[in-house]
Amino acid sequence: MKAMILKKIGSMGKNKTPLELADLPIPAPGEDEILIRVSACGVCHTELDEIEGRTPPPRLPVVLGHQVVGWVEKTGARAKKIKAGDRIGVGWIYSACGKCKFCRQGNENLCGDFRATGRDADGGYAQYMTVPEDFAHPIPPIFSDSEAAPLLCAGAIGYRSLRLANLEDGQTLGMTGFGASAHLVLKMARHRFPSSRIFVFARSDKEREFARELGAAWAGDPAEESPEKLDRIIDTTPAWTPVVEALKNLEAGGRLVVNAIRKENLDQEALKQIDYSRHLWLEKEIKSVANVTRRDVRDFLELAARIPIKPEVQEYPLEGANQALLELKERRIRGAKVLRIGQKTKL
Ligand SMILES: [Zn+2]
Ligand SMILES: [Zn+2]
């Protein structure tokens, strides 16, 4: 099968083509696993964190990709819930232990043995992949394969961030950064909290324009002061300056949710600007978001189908993965980037 593989960690500034096209054997599903013929795989900022070593894969080479939509080709001997021919999706959560205190409380995203798709196990930048059947999710029929892909990470993690933000209808919501996840959060928030006004901070004109098109009450540069104090803010940027700016705009008793697996640390110095009285006092809170649970993925897919929320997608062929990642790195973003895979090879 064709796959785009990562062999070496390094900066994309130096190596603009970190992934190589390879011909790999089609993986065989284990007893509790299923084999999926991949049809679409979303491209996520976390892939840049893997490539550049901020959350490095434990073994190389690895197949990246954790927003996978495909068709079940084969099932393992003990996999009984899913059948060949079903359409399913796989998100960032590839497996968790199921036994620790976090797993037992439904917080499998915090499990010490949390394994991520496309990092700790081969993911969807390939024609085929395997996954434990309990970690594969049915895709509502309303979505095309490409539309469903970004819902599996950008959407699910956005859903989790909005849940952790604990927004009430009528409260103001700020969003710093306006990529794949944020644009889905905006659509979701407008539906669930119709009286809440949304303020978007984004660096590029295009992103700000896109935010206004989708119904943001205001969109400005991250360095600007927001026209009013914000009760909740969700940060999806890879940097620290927007976090400091966001704390300044946060209302007393407000909460900032940082939705990033890693920060890039190029502007870590910005943290020294934090002034306790301006940025943190008055009971402001900061909460990070870690991974997703299966419940986040499934609840979000159902909600997205009901509303409905369809992501804006931009498609690339499998071989165009480096191009898509580079555009993401350079913030040439409108909606979500998806690799279209699809071709059938003989088993
Ligand atoms: Zn992701
Ligand atoms: Zn666990």
> Which DSSP state fits 211?
H
For 298-331, b/e burial (b = at least 16 CB within 10 A) is eebbebbbeeebbbbbbebebebbbebbebbbeb
Q: How far is the CA of 44 from the centre of ligand 1 (A)?
A: 5
Cβ 324 vs Cβ 332: under 8 Å: no
Question: Is the whole-model pTM more than 0.85?
Answer: yes
Which pLDDT score is estimated for 194?
97
* pLDDT of residue 347 exceeding 90: no
Q: How far is the CA of 55 from the centre of ligand 2 (A)?
A: 20
Report the C-alpha gap between 334 and 274 in whole angstroms.
Answer: 32
What's the N-to-C CA distance of the chain in angstroms? 9
User: Could you tell me which residues come within 8 angstroms of residue 101 by beta carbon, excluding any fewer than 6 positions away?
Assistant: none
Considering every ligand atom shown, identify the ligand nearest to the alpha carbon of residue 337 and give its number. Answer: 1
Q: How far is the CA of 38 from the centre of ligand 2 (A)?
A: 28
Instruction: Specify the residue for token string 């119904």.
Output: 215
> How confident is the model over 136-169, as pLDDT tens digits?
999 999 999 999 999 999 999 999 999 999 999 9
Q: How far is the CA of 135 from the centre of ligand 2 (A)?
A: 14
Quickly state the pLDDT bin for 23 (edges 50, 70, 90).
Answer: very high
> How confident is the model over 113-126, as pLDDT tens digits?
999 999 999 999 99
Report the C-alpha gap between 131 and 160 in whole angstroms.
Answer: 22
Q: How far is the CA of 151 from the centre of ligand 1 (A)?
A: 10
Quickly state the pLDDT bin for 219 (edges 50, 70, 90).
Answer: very high
Q: How far is the CA of 35 from the centre of ligand 2 (A)?
A: 24
> Which DSSP state fits 117?
B
Question: What are the residues whose beta carbon lies below 5 Å from ligand 2 (ion)?
Answer: 96-97, 100, 103, 111
Least confidently predicted of 68-77, 187-196, 325-334: 325-334
Cα–Cα distance list, 110 to 100, 115, 343 (Å): 10, 10, 36
Considering every ligand atom shown, identify the ligand nearest to the alpha carbon of residue 184 and give its number. Answer: 1
Instruction: Give the pairing of strands 198-201 and 218-220.
Output: parallel
Q: How far is the CA of 107 from the centre of ligand 2 (A)?
A: 8
Which pLDDT score is estimated for 334?
75
